[in-house]
Amino acid sequence: MARPSRPTSGTLRSLRLGLVPYAEAIGLQARIAAARRAGEIPDTLLLLEHPPVLTKGRRAEAGELGMGEEWYRAQGIEVADSDRGGRVTYHGPGQLVAYPIVDLTAIGPGPAPDVRAWVALLERATIAALAAAGVPAQVFDGLAGVWTAGPPPIPAGTPGPQGRPVILTTPELAAGPRPARKIGSIGIHVSRGISTHGLAVNVNNDLQPFEWIVPCGIEAARMSSVAAELGAEQDIGAVATAIESALDGEL
């Protein structure tokens, strides 16, 4: 059940919804996006968790679900198509999912939505929220998502899944013997200036299902969570508050 909306210090309205089936969340986003486009409501952030589900983004390839869809369903994991960008990823209880439904016409230098600027904003917000939880994090040019400290899973300078070379953005975080692990995922859809979908942060969720797929098309990627990095289960509500604060500060 949805809690009452939480006003932030700016114009972003936030709703914490608990555990929401993926299809239900998609329908809710569509209704909110239509209302936002009509100017009836402000930018709105949905914070929630999903029951176990594998979602296939617009660039997903069959080989990323190596066991076959029926095998995953037999494990109790739904398989769903998604209109977000990106490839295959997993959502499950204990993972915080944030869907900011935002009018992008106010973001970037021109009248058209600046999708790259929006993705960069989501990356910064994820990194800030992880820092508040005590986990240093980084991004790599050429690799999607947000990563823990350590060198990239694909050596710097070699092509990533999208064909672009992997480039370090914060070399001081990309040092050390332990490879970086993916802790946050980002995938969006923009239609008529309104962005849906958003980001997911692994907080307390089971990481085993990620071993059964090729997460986000990166064969060498290994996953982590806030709980795994800090050695104890975390307060997912505190991470939600950090996401609210980070996004509100950016918007």
Using a pLDDT cut of 70, give the percent of the chain over it. 94
Domains of the chain by range and CATH? 6-250 (3.30.930.10)
Q: Which residues pair with 32 in a beta bridge?
A: none
Strand pairing of 78-81 and 53-56?
parallel
**pLDDT for 188-239, tens place per residue?**
999 999 999 999 999 999 999 999 988 767 788 899 999 999 999 999 999 9
**pLDDT for 116-158, tens place per residue?**
999 999 999 999 999 999 999 999 999 999 999 999 998 899 9
* Average pLDDT of the chain to the nearest whole number: 91
- Report the catalytic residues: 216
